[in-house]
Amino acid sequence: MSILMVRHEVVKAQIASLLTAWGMAPDQVETTSTVMADADLRGIDTHGISMMPVYDERRRNNTVTIDAKVAIVAETPVSVLVDGGGGLGYVPSVMAMNRAISIAKAGGVCVAAVRNSNHFGAAGYYTRMAAEQGVIGMSATSASAPRVVPTFGAEQRLGTDPISFAAPARRNPPFVLDMATSTVASGKIRNAATEGREVPIGWMTDRDGRPTTNAREAYYEGGMHTPLGGTPELSSHKGYGLAAMVNILTTCLAGGSLVTAPDHPHRTPGSMELAHFFLAIDPGLFRERSAFEDTLDQFIDDLHATKPVDPAQPVLVAGDPEEKKKQTRLVEGIPVPPGLAGKIQGLAEAAGVPYLLAG
């Protein structure tokens, strides 16, 4: 089977049809499918439609509540706390960041947290929400499973624990950093395992701590992710420290299931008890917003003007690859490999909805 090239709106519609069949409310379907399809559009293939088989497994195992009740449960002039109701993290995260942006634009700054949640997709979506409204944004999330081994450790104790930062410019697209604190996002290894591909050396070890390129062995047979840096010699302690920081800002701050707990994330039926963190800062606290954006534009221009090693590969800044991928995929479509396409077709048949990806 060949790779399918599927229009963005079709990918979104396929996600929406499955979520609807599973019992999600229409407004939540719209938000969730929008964020997920945006990840695919920007080349973040680990966080789009490829997550649907994972979500199906979680709903059948009662570790996610598809028809979750999401609500703001506490608010001050500088903070917001949202309860995700055990559901997927997209709706509570959009709610939290929207409220944080509104408060920050009025008062300068807002910290928001979400508790009692699940996977929230690509962290950069929420920081882009802030940047698109002229506000600096940060986001982070705890993870569903311990996959990452701490520096000098021999067992998994951390998640991939992503973090994102975005800032608005005037002429350039926003600066958007979106990264796992592991050497590579777990979904890249999952997708490689699905398609029977190998992964580069340094991404993971086998269950005994030996480097491996076998994606299936790495993902499904007890392998361990490495912290950002890969080895102590290459400063893996930095990725390890960032992962710990993310867990402090999410689980410790908002309350949830620690990734180090023996029963994580199965303490509460219907919820993985993940937690998310959001920060919104109005640059106008310190100077004119336009002056901030002009300075950032100059900084981005200076970075782009850096002499490259290879003229065919110019220097990029955070957010460039995703923006370029979006423009390409709006024209050419989103690639769906055969292994994933087969899984989505199976989900559609089981849910009694049309399989849309084949056209």
pLDDT tens string 230-287: 888 889 899 999 999 999 999 999 999 999 999 999 999 999 999 999 999 999 999 9
**Residues 15 and 32 sit within 8 Å (Cβ to Cβ):** yes
- The whole-number pLDDT of residue 202 equals 79
Per-residue pLDDT of the chain (359 residues; tens, 9 = 90+): 689 999 999 999 999 999 999 999 999 999 999 999 999 999 999 999 999 999 999 999 999 999 999 999 999 999 999 999 999 999 999 999 999 999 999 999 999 999 999 999 999 999 999 999 999 999 999 999 998 999 888 889 999 999 999 999 999 999 999 999 999 877 788 888 888 888 888 788 888 877 788 888 777 887 888 899 988 888 989 999 999 999 999 999 999 999 999 999 999 999 999 999 999 999 999 999 999 999 999 999 999 999 999 999 999 999 999 999 999 999 999 999 999 999 999 999 999 999 999 87
Query: Global pTM?
Result: 0.93
Rounded-to-integer distance, Cα 296 and Cα 199, Å: 36
1-61+321-359 against 65-183+226-291: fold identical: no
Q: Helices 26-41 and 90-107, interaxial angle, to 10°? A: 80
Q: What would you report as the CA-atom Rg of the chain, rounded to the nearest whole angstrom?
A: 20
Rounded-to-integer distance, Cα 99 and Cα 112, Å: 8
Going from N- to C-terminal start, the domains of the chain cover 1-61+321-359, 65-183+226-291
Rounded-to-integer distance, Cα 311 and Cα 175, Å: 23
Residue 323: closest CA among 5, 123, 43? 43
Please say whether the structural domain 65-183+226-291 has been given the CATH code 3.30.1370.60: yes
**Which residue matches tokens 């300075």?**
295
**Residues 29 and 92 sit within 8 Å (Cβ to Cβ):** no
- The whole-number pLDDT of residue 189 equals 83
Question: 250-287: buried (b, 16+ CB within 10 Å) or exposed (e) per residue?
Answer: bbebbebbbbeeeebbeeeebbbbbbbbbbbbbbbeee
Paired with 204 in beta bridges are: 212, 225
Tell me how far apart the terminal alpha carbons of the chain are, to the nearest angstrom: 15
* DSSP-based three-state secondary structure for 229: coil
CATH of domain 1-61+321-359: 1.10.1530.10
Q: Is the peptide bond before 311 cis (omega within 30 degrees of 0)?
A: no
* DSSP-based three-state secondary structure for 334: strand
